[in-house]
Amino acid sequence: MCGRFVSSSAPDEIARYFGVDAIGEKVLEPNYNTAPSSDVYAIRERDDQRVLDALHWGLVPFWAKDLKIGNRMINARSETVAEKSSFKRAFAKRRCIIPVDGFYEWEKVAGRKHKQPWYIQRRDGDPFAFAGLWEVWRGPDRDGSAEIHSCTIITGAANDSMAEIHDRMPVMLPPDAWDTWLDPDAADIELLSRYLVAAPSELLVKHRVSPEVNNARNRGAHLIEPYEPDSPTLPLDSA
């Protein structure tokens, strides 16, 4: 799964890298520990423009009775995203890219009660283009008074590098997939599904980080600094 990530780049930097045409009004503060239910940047194609917006992380289907369902839908499995009722409508028409500077994953360690967090980023320092989906929810009365735009991150089986820590990882789109992925008129499910594969292991580098990242209230840049488990123990919260 993908449950925490780093979003520290300014919107204009993201726009340049991803060829964005327009930036939404909401600007997010740099966050080195972005957690579910936060607003996150997402790139969508709207009115033939590539737009960077801030969306609620945790997809809320149009048929949901309330927002709470989004807490269970921060990720969509690549193996079932085209068929599962919660995601198939968005997969067919509402795909997005979630720009991420790096992400965290937790490793089970024999003999230790708490898992060890790792930070994963691109070897070249560029941002990841996570494959995502988005939806619009207008509340139970459907009168448009509570319109929420939300998103989810697609995950798949881990590559060899990530498998050392966890058996799943976010789907990362290469630049030559961006146009098709964002195009709402691209309806070839078989073609779209070909993008839902693990990125090459050589794309990634990873290192252990402090257990401070377990607490979503901690959001500073120090969280991504390398950490040795034999360092003085810090207070732990469940990941």
Report the distance separating Cα 195 and Cα 178, nearest Å: 10
Report the distance separating Cα 96 and Cα 80, nearest Å: 17
Is residue 2 part of the annotated active site? The answer reads yes
Phi (first) and psi of residue 118, to 5 degrees: -125, 150
Is residue 151 part of the annotated active site? The answer reads no
Burial of 93 (0-12, 13-18, 19+ CB in 10 A): middle
Annotated catalytic residue, options 105, 135, 151, 212 = 105
Annotated catalytic residue, options 2, 45, 135, 212 = 2
What are the catalytic residues? 2, 105
